Structure 1
Amino acid sequence: MSTIPWDPYRLDCPSRRLLDRIGDRWTVLLVGALDDGPQRFGALAARVGGISQKMLTQTLRSLERDGFVTRTVYPEIPPRVEYELTPLGRSLQGPLRALEEWAVAHMDEVWANEHSAG
């Protein structure tokens, strides 16, 4: 365990980058989409509506770099590639699921406020 006092409120703290990563909408949706187990790129693209191929690639690379996702290439013809949550990625599922459930539970209220302003 680190003895560094991480403080995401400091501009130069690396923990701020981590919050940016896990708070990103595509990260939230991809971690949720990977809840069912390993997925291929095309299946993830189909599951997460509105994500471009470029954004899906960038987000998966970032999640892999940060240790949330593993990418496995199977030596087949054509090659098969699957993405899967690591134990670190699975540890994010609970907090992100709670955020998703909160958004769904409060959407009516937010929608009403959005459309009554102005």
Structure 2
Amino acid sequence: MPNTRRSDCPLSCFLDEWGDKWTFLILRDLLSGPRKFSGFLESAEPLPTNLLSNRLVKLVEGGYAIKIQYQERPKRFEYEITDKGRSLVPIMQAMIGWAETHLDSVAAAPAGLTAVEAKPVKAKPASAKPAAQKKPKQTNETPTAPSQGAFDF
């Protein structure tokens, strides 16, 4: 599969994977339990079937959901969230928290996305090696003013 990333920036890579408006909503629906294709069509947000099919394939191929056959003829499937998919719950909770704080007239958080209801996500083992830190370059340039924030260019 060709690399379709815009850059190696972690935020850019995340947005390449999750930057559309449908995929997180499909994951949200999967948090309530296994779901058949028709069940997604009953969601509060109308989703065209071609986009739903495309996003479900993406979620299964990425390991965020699994596809389980429940009927032989005709073949029918249901989808279930995986631990990898569940690992995105804290990100979804942060987005919900932001919306509740900064947007008018938003509904309560859906089931499975409140801090109490969300299943814990496995943390990295304590024995994991920290990422190597780069040493700063030595230059002969005079120092500049201190940084004023993350968006200094």
Which of 2, 25, 28 is 2:24 aligned to?
A: 28
Check 1:106–1:14 CA distance in 2 against 1; reply closer, same or farther (3 A cut). Answer: closer
- What is the alpha-carbon distance in structure 1 between the residues aligned to residue 70 and residue 81 of structure 2? 17
Higher RCO (C-alpha 8 Å, min separation 6): 1
SS of the residue 1:31 aligns to: helix
Check 1:21–1:11 CA distance in 2 against 1; reply closer, same or farther (3 A cut). Answer: closer
SS of the residue 1:36 aligns to: coil
2:88 maps to 92
- What is the alpha-carbon distance in structure 2 between the residues aligned to residue 78 and residue 46 of structure 1? 21
Which of 51, 57, 60 is 1:61 aligned to?
A: 57
- What is the alpha-carbon distance in structure 1 between the residues aligned to residue 45 and residue 96 of structure 2? 16
Paired residues for 1:1-118 under 5 Å: 11-13=6-8, 16-108=12-104
Provide the aligned C-alpha RMSD in A. Answer: 2.4
Check 1:38–1:79 CA distance in 2 against 1; reply closer, same or farther (3 A cut). Answer: same
Letter in 1 for 2:90: G
- What is the alpha-carbon distance in structure 1 between the residues aligned to residue 25 and residue 16 of structure 2? 14
- What CA deviation, in whole Å up to 9, does each residue of 1:15-65 have, x standing for no partner? 645432223211111111111110111111111522100000001111111
Q: TM-score, normalised by structure 2?
A: 0.56
Letter in 2 for 1:11: R
1:3 maps to none
Per the TM alignment, residue 95 of structure 1 is displaced from its structure 2 partner at its CA by 1.0
- Report the number of matched residues: 100
- What is the alpha-carbon distance in structure 2 between the residues aligned to residue 54 and residue 80 of structure 1? 17
Please list every run of 5 or more consecutive structure 1 residues that lacks an aligned counterpart in the other structure: 1-9, 110-118
Q: Which has the larger radius of gyration?
A: 2
Higher helix share: 1
Letter in 2 for 1:69: A
Check 1:48–1:67 CA distance in 2 against 1; reply closer, same or farther (3 A cut). Answer: farther
- What CA deviation, in whole Å up to 9, does each residue of 1:52-108 have, x standing for no partner? 000000011111111111011123444431111111001112211321232233212
- What is the alpha-carbon distance in structure 2 between the residues aligned to residue 34 and residue 105 of structure 1? 25
